[in-house]
């Protein structure tokens, strides 16, 4: 059936990261192996974890100084502000004009897990301190998970289908599945795939309390060192990624700049224990196999893997073991970009896709930072500490949620 064979491609993108606003800042940071993890302002003295991938000095006026723009972002959650700025970049990259009234041909998929917690906390604090009548309706409406999508649809007059996925790290990838369905069925011509998260004091306290019982939170070294023997947990990250997806046919017809092809995807659940990943990475193994199979490739055609690895003691070895089973101990280089950006949950897939397409465009593999001592349970070539020059044709991206969801996507370099 011809519709099912329509390849899905990436044509536009935008980002907000701790490196700054925009793709060039992100690329520069990743390429030079600069850590975006630093002391975060909201961590207090008692906090065991003091670092995060925090967007320091973020101000909407750095992107667009006009009063109307900054005013429209004022009341919104941090993550929502990031999302809007990323979306603006991506829509501009593909020349989308809201005045042309083509908004019904654009769909939105939002991946977001904790963006609205900031507003939930604000609302709830007043409820507890002052009672129901003192609460704010304007804040309540921002506590709905799809708030970012809602604001963007209003701002850019986008009236096509809209969905918000909140299952964690794999949401961006399951979002691609939904987007491809709409695109192939001709329901829309473009999908704006958005990923956004924001960091708040509530997050910090919550993850702090999960400490010791969820063995994934950093409590010894406060460096995030995926795959390294010294690793002892993750640090949180924030930001936003916006990606425009189209069918290859549409992109060619409209002379769009094709950044990458999405060749395939795969998903599986550990079904192990909530809050724990399976120590052998059994879910991720299936996800990777399914993604490679759907792409009509074999494992040895994958040139680079962008890992989910975030410094988690169990998670990183689970991923390594799964990779070594699939590649029979002959895996390509595996980069843990979370060593630079932090654990970004709903943006996992977004940052992975951006890093992947930039790596393929510039023949570069980004590094895994803070790598010190080999851990035999993580025996992969993790591109330690420095970028490497290498051309990639096909790459695999991994995402693992905290509760056992696993997803993988294969991206292919576009032919010129």
Partner 1 sequence: MDNIAITGLGCITSLGPDKDKVFDNLIKGKNGIKPIQSFDVSAYAGKQGGEVKDLTSTPDAINTTCPQYERAAWLLLKATREAIDDASLILNQQNPFRIALSTGTTLGGMVNGENYYRALHQNDQKIHPNQIISASQYAPNDFVMSELGLRGMSLVTSTACSASSHAIGYALELLQNDLADVVFAGGFEPMSELTFAGFSILRSITQDKIRPFDKNRTGLVLGEGAGMLVLERESEAQKRGARIYALLAGYGSSSDAYHTTAPHKEGLGAARAMRMALNEAKLNLTQVDYINAHGTATPANDIAETQAIKNVFGEQAYRIPISSIKSMIGHTLGAAGAIEAVATLLTIHNNAIPPTINYSTPDLACDLDYVPNQSRQIKVQAALSNSFGFGGNNAVLAFVKPDLS
* Smallest distance from partner 1 to CB 52, Å: 17
CB distance 330 to 300 below 8 Å:
yes
* Smallest distance from partner 1 to CB 68, Å: 17
Cα of first residue to Cα of last residue in the chain, in angstroms, is 26
> Which two structure tokens, joined as six digits, stand for 309?
């690895």
Sequence-distant (6+) residues with CB within 8 A of 99 are: none
* Smallest distance from partner 1 to CB 239, Å: 19
Nearer to partner 1, 160 or 384 (CB): 160
- Out of 15, 40, 263, 286, the only residue in the binding site for partner 1 (CB under 8 A) is 286
Count of H-run helices and E-run strands, the chain: 14, 15
Binding-residue pattern over the window 78 to 117 for partner 1, x denoting contact by CB under 8 A: -------------------------xx--xx----x----
Residues β-bridged to residue 265:
409
CB distance 9 to 261 below 8 Å:
yes
> Which two structure tokens, joined as six digits, stand for 97?
């004009």
Nearer to partner 1, 4 or 74 (CB): 4
> Which two structure tokens, joined as six digits, stand for 144?
């709905």
Chain mean position to CA 369: 18
- Out of 402, 408, 411, 412, the only residue in the binding site for partner 1 (CB under 8 A) is 402
* Smallest distance from partner 1 to CB 374, Å: 31
Give one DSSP letter per residue of 108-164, joined into a string.
Answer: EEEE-SSTTHHHHHHHHHHHHHH-GGG--HHHHGGGSTTHHHHHHHHHTT--S-EEE
- Out of 124, 299, 301, 390, the only residue in the binding site for partner 1 (CB under 8 A) is 124
- Residue 375 has, within 13 A of its CA and on its CB side, a CA count of 23
Q: Which of residues 257-276 bind partner 1 (CB under 8 A)?
A: 267-275
* Smallest distance from partner 1 to CB 389, Å: 37
- Out of 10, 23, 91, 121, the only residue in the binding site for partner 1 (CB under 8 A) is 121
Binding-residue pattern over the window 346 to 385 for partner 1, x denoting contact by CB under 8 A: ----------------------------------------
Q: Which of residues 132-171 bind partner 1 (CB under 8 A)?
A: 132-133, 135-137, 140-141, 143-147, 149-151, 153-154, 156-168
CB distance 335 to 364 below 8 Å:
no
Is 187 a residue that touches partner 1 (CB under 8 A)?
A: yes
Q: Which of residues 289-348 bind partner 1 (CB under 8 A)?
A: none
Buried b (16+ CB within 10 A) or exposed e, 212-250: eeebbbbeeeebbbbbbeebbbbbbbbbbbbbbbbbbeb
Pair type for strands 260-269 and 190-197: unpaired
Stretch that binds partner 1, among 12-20, 89-97, 354-362, 397-405 (CB under 8 A): 397-405
Number of residues lying near partner 1 (CB under 8 A) = 75
* Smallest distance from partner 1 to CB 290, Å: 8
Q: Which of residues 200-259 bind partner 1 (CB under 8 A)?
A: 202, 205-207, 209-214
Cα angle: 331, vertex 333, 336; to 5 degrees = 120
Stretch that binds partner 1, among 27-35, 62-70, 128-136, 255-263 (CB under 8 A): 128-136
> Which two structure tokens, joined as six digits, stand for 133?
């009548």
The rounded distance, in Å, linking the Cα atoms of 233 and 375 is 15
- Out of 7, 122, 174, 348, the only residue in the binding site for partner 1 (CB under 8 A) is 174
* Smallest distance from partner 1 to CB 413, Å: 24
Nearer to partner 1, 214 or 314 (CB): 214
Write phi, then psi, for 303 (nearest 5 degrees): -90, -20
* Smallest distance from partner 1 to CB 347, Å: 15
* Smallest distance from partner 1 to CB 171, Å: 8
């Amino acid at each position: 059936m011809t519709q099912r064979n329509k390849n899905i491609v990436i044509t536009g993108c935008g980002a907000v990261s701790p490196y700054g606003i925009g793709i060039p800042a992100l690329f520069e940071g990743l390429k030079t192996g600069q850590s975006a993890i630093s002391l975060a302002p909201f961590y207090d003295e008692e906090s065991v974890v003091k670092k995060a991938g925090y967007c320091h000095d973020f101000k909407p006026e750095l992107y667009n100084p006009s009063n109307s723009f900054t005013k429209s972002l004022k009341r919104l959650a941090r993550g929502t502000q990031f999302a809007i700025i990323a979306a603006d970049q991506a829509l501009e990259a593909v020349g989308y004009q809201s005045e042309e009234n083509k908004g019904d041909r654009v769909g939105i998929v939002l991946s977001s897990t904790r963006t609205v917690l900031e507003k939930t906390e604000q609302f709830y604090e007043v409820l507890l301190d002052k009672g129901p009548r003192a609460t704010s309706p304007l804040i309540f409406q921002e506590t709905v998970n799809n708030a970012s999508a809602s604001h963007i649809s209003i701002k850019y007059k986008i009236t096509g289908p809209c969905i918000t996925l909140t299952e964690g790290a794999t949401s961006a990838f399951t979002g691609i599945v939904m987007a491809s369905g709409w695109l192939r069925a001709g329901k829309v011509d473009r999908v704006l795939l958005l990923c956004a998260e924001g960091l708040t004091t509530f997050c910090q306290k919550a993850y702090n309390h999960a400490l010791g019982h969820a063995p994934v939170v950093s409590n010894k070294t406060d460096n995030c060192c995926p795959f390294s023997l010294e690793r002892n947990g993750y640090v949180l990250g924030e930001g936003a990624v916006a990606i425009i997806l189209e069918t290859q046919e549409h992109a060619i017809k409209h002379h769009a700049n094709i950044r990458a092809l999405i060749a395939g995807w795969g998903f599986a659940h550990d079904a192990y224990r909530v809050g724990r990943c399976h120590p052998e990475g059994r879910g991720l193994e299936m996800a990777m196999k399914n993604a490679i199979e759907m792409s009509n490739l074999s494992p040895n055609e994958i040139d680079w893997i962008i890992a989910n690895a975030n410094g988690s003691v169990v998670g990183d070895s689970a991923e390594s073991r799964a990779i070594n089973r699939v590649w029979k101990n002959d895996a390509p280089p595996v980069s843990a970009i979370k060593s630079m950006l932090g654990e970004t949950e709903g943006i996992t897939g977004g940052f992975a896709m951006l890093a992947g397409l930039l790596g393929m465009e510039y023949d570069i593999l980004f590094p895994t930072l803070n790598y010190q001592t080999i851990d035999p349970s993580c025996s992969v070539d993790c591109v330690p500490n420095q970028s490497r020059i290498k051309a990639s044709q096909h790459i695999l991206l991994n995402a693992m949620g905290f509760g056992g969801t696993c997803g993988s996507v294969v991206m292919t370099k576009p032919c010129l």
